[in-house]
Amino acid sequence: QVTVGFALEVGVGKSSALKKMKAKNLDMIVLNDPTVAGIEFGSDYNIATIFSSDGAETKLEKMTKAKLAAVILDSVEGRLKNK
């Protein structure tokens, strides 16, 4: 089992996301900031960073939300293979 959380944060994103991941005992958390131009609410695009409990940090470029979902699932699959 791999638990994934999501953090929609403005400004203090990384520190807040890491606190949430630890407090909720998550394996991964996906951080995004809705104030970035071009990825605001209602947009088909997003920019995110995936943090893992093992300390890994993956910054992702602007992509469609469907592509982001696929990247998140690939990350989960990778963790499952390593458990």
First to last CA, the chain: 9
CA 2 – CA 77 distance, rounded (Å):
9
3's CB contacts (< 8 A; 6+ apart) are 24, 25, 26, 27, 28
Provide the sign of the torsion angle of the four alpha carbons 62, 67, 72, 76, taken in this order.
Answer: negative
CA 73 – CA 54 distance, rounded (Å):
17
> pLDDT, tens digit, for every residue of 20-72?
999 999 999 999 988 888 887 788 999 999 999 999 999 999 999 999 999 99
> pLDDT, tens digit, for every residue of 4-34?
999 998 877 899 999 999 999 999 999 998 8
pTM over cut 0.85:
yes
